[in-house]
Amino acid sequence: MGQVLRGLSSLVLIPIYTTHLAPAEFGLVELLTVVIDFAALLIGGRLGIALFKYYHDATSEEQKRKVVSTALVSASLANLAAIVLIAILSRGAAEWSSVPEGFNTALRVLSITLVLNAFNEVFFSYLRLKERPKAYVTANLLRFVGQLLLNILFIVYLGFGYWGIILAAVISSAIVALLFACWLLPRIGITFSREYATRLFLFSFPLVISALGLYYVTLGNRYFLKLYQGLAAVGIYALAHKLGLTFMSLAWGPFATFWNTKQFEYARGPDAHRFFGTVFLYLNFVLMPAAVGVVVLTPHFLGIFATADYAPAIALVPWIVAAAIVQCWTDYLRFGIFHASRNRHLTYGTLISAVLVTLLYIWWIPREGALGAAKASFVALTVRLGYFAAVGCKFFPIDVPWGRFAVLSACFLAAHALLASWSLPDGIAMVVKGGIIVAIAIALAASPLTFPQHRALVTEWLARRRN
């Protein structure tokens, strides 16, 4: 539910953005966000997986608290340095990239979220490690409501334009960080361990390189789009990409929130290779209907909640959602690389895809604009999936029941072809087509595509609930 709330915050805000901001303004906000994300990756590090690993490796509660506190201090200091660097370089970067006046000021203000979000993410990781789902949901609900109300106030009522998005992001993050500090710091204290900081850095550094490559593959097209097509094209692509990210937040996010903290523990269990394969199959009973739902319902959603200026985003969504599901598969099947601590392969695979996507951007974007960017990202991410899956399964084989997986994929491809060709009024289509997709997913989960012993467990659980 906590991850669903995160995803809903993006989904609910889309009608506000698409009715009160022009595509060029939406594109400007996207460029600001891309720069902030780049700074967070380059300087802020990727401590999440490292934090989970060394927390589980710690043998006492004192060591566990020291791991969390060291991660908190390290992430906060690194992102504070990023804010200073952005303040120094923002004016020159704005002049070099030929963005509208005021871009550098907006960038400096938005950069404040770097430290706030770094603190908040460590806190969320701590809640996951301590298995505190109620607190996790409450914190995400608070952030969701605050962000929604502030966006409505600044954009709809005060007419601040894209500045409303910036102010809402900074204020909502600050409120949540303040509340988290009052709750978290008394529990873990403020300590810093040079030993744990070194371990976290050495484990995370290859992840940073890999994340930078992934950042370029998925977000670097904004610069090519601005160069060849202008800010309006960036805004169109940003809307389609936001819908794809919503799919990942709603379908993949809840699973990953739990799985990333537990996968190292499950890898030590009996028959772990088959267990990982079965979980991957069942994961796709959620991912595939969610992907079909986003692709099929997006034209109707934008028909209700967006102006005609954003209609070109519809053609991009299938490619972006396909790239998103490839990313989900990659994040799962690369586990063997983490398990064997061969993180350098993350760098190799991502660099290969980065070089490939550059060539594809240069070829496709001048010819097809935003659609070419979406196609290029999908191809490059598919190549990345192939490399990570091959290397990861070399160190930790995952026994996926590929026959069942192929039948499941064929069923949802057929469902997509049928529903996409069915013309209905937008409002009715949202309900009818959405209901059909859910019904198909339930029917397939109850079919022989799932294993008999697992269907029996579900039947037993439902019987207990009825009683």
351 exposed, middle or buried (CB, 10 Å; 0-12, 13-18, 19+)? Answer: middle
- pLDDT for res 286: 93
pLDDT tens for each residue of 257-301: 788 878 888 998 889 999 999 999 999 999 999 999 999 999 998
Run of H or E residues at 52: helix 48-57
Taking the mean position of all CA atoms in its chain, how far away is CA 136?
Answer: 17
What's the rounded mean pLDDT across residues 424-440?
Answer: 93
- pLDDT for res 222: 79
Q: pLDDT band for position 317 (50/70/90)?
A: very high
Residue 359 has pLDDT above 90, yes or no: yes
Name the more confident of 410 and 237.
410
d(CA 339, CA 342): 8
- pLDDT for res 273: 93
Residue 202 has pLDDT above 70, yes or no: yes
List the one residue out of 44, 18, 290 whose CA is nearest residue 151: 18
- pLDDT for res 146: 86
Name the more confident of 367 and 128.
367
Q: pLDDT band for position 7 (50/70/90)?
A: low
What's the rounded mean pLDDT across residues 231-241?
Answer: 84
List the one residue out of 330, 252, 256 whose CA is nearest residue 286: 252
Name the more confident of 39 and 319.
319
- pLDDT for res 96: 57
- pLDDT for res 240: 86
Six-digit token string for 347: 């760098």
| Percent of all residues in the chain with a pLDDT value above 70, rounded to a whole number | 93
Run of H or E residues at 205: helix 194-219
d(CA 3, CA 9): 10
List the one residue out of 363, 390, 391 whose CA is nearest residue 375: 363
Count of CB atoms situated within 10 Å of the CB of 12 = 16
Name the more confident of 214 and 354.
354
The counts of H helices and E strands in the chain are 20, 0
Contact criterion met (CB below 8 Å) for 448 and 411: no
Six-digit token string for 358: 């550059």
Six-digit token string for 218: 């998925």
Does residue 175 come out as left (phi exceeding 0), alpha (psi in the -120 to 50 range) or beta?
alpha
d(CA 73, CA 54): 16
* Non-local CB neighbours of 61 within 8 Å, separated by 6+ positions: none
d(CA 19, CA 229): 22
d(CA 24, CA 231): 5
**φ/ψ (deg, to 5) at 447:** -90, 175
* Non-local CB neighbours of 178 within 8 Å, separated by 6+ positions: none
Does residue 398 come out as left (phi exceeding 0), alpha (psi in the -120 to 50 range) or beta?
beta
Contact criterion met (CB below 8 Å) for 57 and 21: no
Residue 189 has pLDDT above 70, yes or no: yes
Highest mean pLDDT, choosing among 15-19, 47-51, 422-426: 422-426
